[in-house]
Structure 1
Amino acid sequence: MTAQDSATPASPIAVSSGILLAVLGVVAFSLTFPSTVWGLESFGPWSLVSVRSVLAAVVAGTFLLAMRVPLPERRHWAGLATVAAGVVVGFPLLTTLALQTSTSSHAAVVVGLLPLTTAAFAALRTGRRPSRTFWAAALAGAAVVIAFTVQQSGGTLHAGDLYLFGALLVCAAGYTEGGRLAQWMPGWHVIGWALILCLPLALAGSAVALAYEPVRLSAHGVVGLVWVAAGSTFFGLYVWYRGMAEIGISKASQLQLAQPLLTLVWSVLLLGEALSPAAPPAAVAVLVCIAVTQRART
């Protein structure tokens, strides 16, 4: 499996498959914030993140054992640790803490900047330099999303924004390293081993957090927990990393420009949050920017 960020260009079939897989990842990720808000109805923030990681690791471990997947090579463990720190621990914890005071709509500003940040991390990590057209479209898309989400939140920053900006950085690092590793192993191996790497910490965290944070089970809370564990963390990252391996980290990252708008739609449908009239024109502008980045030379 060869990434577009490598020296060998991907075939048209691989590009189409990679785009589809990455889009599925974006759809799965777009449900993360609303699902986290639901999960917080039943669990405290530390409990939700810890139990989420344990459940996702159980799913991943079951697949790894059933398929008799061998341990990764020693040279890949540092990269897996980066994935684990960024997307298994850092991003879920920081965004969950932020969502105690921020709305799901406002938190979408994180993924509004994430595509640009991931592309920057990828350029530094892989040495590949996308064209000026790519960067111009990426910056334009980020500007549209940021302007829209700030307008949606009333133009003010919240206490949780420090958590959100921290989540942005660690997630971009985890995405980049995971996309790079997916050149040598299947995407589900990448997230699977990262989850297994975090399992001891997640088990200890769950035991401590559940002892101190009250649990009030509800249908929303259980559904939210199951989705962030199996949907966002395992399935979403599996298809995302596989898509990255086929079309390249930079191109895949720009598909996430649509994620904040999808999150806002889910926030309206699932959480009853208000949607700005600016959403339709913002969506069109973002789709144009995505189309340009996918056609631009990398």
Structure 2
Amino acid sequence: MIQHSKNSQPGHSRASSGWVSGLVGVLIFSGSLPATRIAVQGLDPIFLTVARATIAGTLGLILLLVFRETRPVRRDLLPLLIVALGVVVGFPLLTALALRHITSAHAVVFIGLLPLSTAIFGVLRGGERPQAAFWLFSALGSCAVVAFAVRNGLHASPLGDALMLAAIVACGLGYAEGARLSRHLGGWQVISWALVLSLPVMVPLTWWAWPASFAGVSQAALWGLAYVSLFSMLIGFVFWYRGLALGGIASVGQLQLLQPFFGLLLAGVLLHEQVPPVMIVVTVIVVACVAGARRFARAVPVRQAG
């Protein structure tokens, strides 16, 4: 990896690189809910959660050993635990449980609230201070997604909706904490260490939740497990945490507003779920809000007297 000094890589270049990396992460994550929806049709949600963490954690451990990464210091352990609880356990388990009550096309619109959750935790945990206009664009984008969800039947399942809201809070915290750690540990190292930290719990739980037989499990469900284990749980975070670290947690986090629409397209193609035409109009509004939020994500520098 080529190292750049602060002088050789301007802030604009770092931010642009962060946005590109973040967009790749969002594209990968967009397949998570459709893949989870497919997987839970043949696998227990608890098994799916612990199995994906075990598979990804094993791969992460191999990567850390191959590249001989330095172990995190003691002060990094609690933040890594928060990352593990948020994105390794909390979000996967809560969404898997929610998808037993609602469709992936319905659940994916809740991702529209994730940028606000991530930005709030970016302020609380990452020390970021976006301008007031940033919050306006972020709120407008989230409202557009929520309005789209209401129009398409937000009342489908109160329990499923509650589980998705809890998942968004857990994920926003995990994203912000992981991005803060990525500034000195590196993106793929953060998710790998968080996964490794969870292995002592996940491996026994995987053994305990192991199905009596896979005879009745479809190949599609197994492919869903493979996707969420490799891409959603590991590869996507390589790009996502790098993007948040380079471009800013609150700023790059707004790209998640696009994830519902990528996810809805996948749900329509893979699961043949209905995708309403109004989605195009809402997508245009969301893209405008993302662009506006990016412009005002950075705090205005305070002028020095004299």
Q: 5 Å matches for 1:196-215?
A: 196-211=196-211
Paired residues of 2:15 and 2:248 also in contact (CA < 8 A): no
Q: Who is 1:59 aligned against?
A: 59
Alignment partner of 1:124 is 2:124: yes
Q: For residues 240 and 147 of structure 2, what CA distance do their matches in structure 1 show? A: 26
CA separation of 1:185 and 1:157: change in aligned 2, threshold 3 A: same
Q: For residues 297 and 289 of structure 2, what CA distance do their matches in structure 1 show? A: 14
Deviation by residue 1:182-206 (Cα, 9 ceiling, x = unmatched) = 1111100000000001111111111
Secondary structure in 2 aligned to 1:100?
coil
Paired residues of 1:10 and 1:246 also in contact (CA < 8 A): no
Secondary structure in 2 aligned to 1:17?
helix
Q: For residues 268 and 116 of structure 2, what CA distance do their matches in structure 1 show? A: 26
Q: For residues 219 and 10 of structure 1, what CA distance do their matches in structure 2 show? A: 48
Q: Who is 2:269 aligned against?
A: 269
Q: For residues 24 and 295 of structure 1, what CA distance do their matches in structure 2 show? A: 20
Q: For residues 145 and 154 of structure 1, what CA distance do their matches in structure 2 show? A: 11
Shift of 1:211: 4.9
Q: For residues 25 and 228 of structure 2, what CA distance do their matches in structure 1 show? A: 13
Shift of 1:39: 1.1
Secondary structure in 2 aligned to 1:159?
helix
Q: Who is 1:88 aligned against?
A: 88
Gaps of 5+ in 1: 1-8
Aligned partner letter, 1:246: L
Aligned partner letter, 2:108: A
Q: Who is 2:146 aligned against?
A: 146
Aligned partner letter, 1:257: L
Q: For residues 207 and 178 of structure 1, what CA distance do their matches in structure 2 show? A: 28
Q: Who is 1:6 aligned against?
A: none
Greater alpha carbon shift after TM alignment, 88-97 vs 32-41: 32-41
Q: For residues 235 and 167 of structure 2, what CA distance do their matches in structure 1 show? A: 20
Paired residues of 1:106 and 1:150 also in contact (CA < 8 A): no
Q: Who is 1:5 aligned against?
A: none
Larger radius of gyration: 2
Alignment partner of 1:115 is 2:115: yes
Q: Who is 2:173 aligned against?
A: 173
Instruction: State the aligned residue count.
Output: 291
Aligned partner letter, 2:145: V
CA separation of 1:213 and 1:153: change in aligned 2, threshold 3 A: farther
Aligned partner letter, 1:276: P
Q: Who is 1:253 aligned against?
A: 253
Q: For residues 153 and 196 of structure 2, what CA distance do their matches in structure 1 show? A: 37
Q: For residues 161 and 101 of structure 1, what CA distance do their matches in structure 2 show? A: 9
Deviation by residue 1:14-51 (Cα, 9 ceiling, x = unmatched) = 11211111001111111000000111133111111111
Aligned partner letter, 2:242: R
Shift of 1:105: 1.1
Gaps of 5+ in 2: 1-8, 299-306
Shift of 1:293: 1.0
Q: For residues 201 and 97 of structure 2, what CA distance do their matches in structure 1 show? A: 18
Secondary structure in 2 aligned to 1:128?
coil
Shift of 1:163: 1.1
- Percentage of pairs with the same residue: 38
